[in-house]
Amino acid sequence: MSKKLSDKDLKDWKNFVKSKDRIIPKDINSPATSKNSSIFAIDLHGLSLDQANKFVEKTINECFEKQISKINIITGKGMRSKSVEDPYKSSELSILKHSVPEFISSNDELMKKIKNIENTDEKNSGSFNVYLKSKNKFR
């Protein structure tokens, strides 16, 4: 079954293909592609809470070692969560949006490497930033 793309989707696709912006695949479990950058982004869409927490912990540790100063963590807004009976998967609680920052904050070893955790602006409320301390100042 073939479905015709809307004009907006077609325009967005053409802009995407022409764009020189680099997309970091979330399947790569290492910020190694970002060695010379002071900002790294990860996308947690499609991951379970356990997978997301493990991925975030690994990413924070690797970024700290590589002296990356800022990690943008994209959780999504939780608008597509389908399970109402499980509060950790409900659309009201937006499982990753709230649980991942809580996981980070409650992990003492990670918090030793973090300066600040900050929500992004209201328009982009499906992500937050983690600012890392300098490895040279770590104690």
Residues 90-102: what's their mean pLDDT?
71
Query: Could you tell me the fold of the domain covering 37-137?
Result: Ribosomal Protein S8; Chain: A, domain 1 (3.30.1370)
pLDDT of residue 57: 96
Contact assessment for residue 41 and residue 24, using Cβ atoms and an 8 Å cutoff? yes
Q: Are strands 39-43 and 70-74 parallel, antiparallel or unpaired?
A: parallel
For residue 33, pLDDT over 60 is answered with no
pLDDT band at 90 (very low <50, low <70, confident <90, very high): very low
- Predicted TM-score (pTM) of this structure: 0.63
How far lies 115's CA from each of 9, 91, 118, 135, in Å?
40, 30, 10, 11
Domain ranges of the chain: 37-137
Number of DSSP helices (H) and strands (E) in the chain, helices first: 4, 4
pLDDT of residue 94: 53
Higher pLDDT, 119 or 58: 58
pLDDT tens column, 40-74: 999 998 888 899 999 999 999 999 999 999 999 99
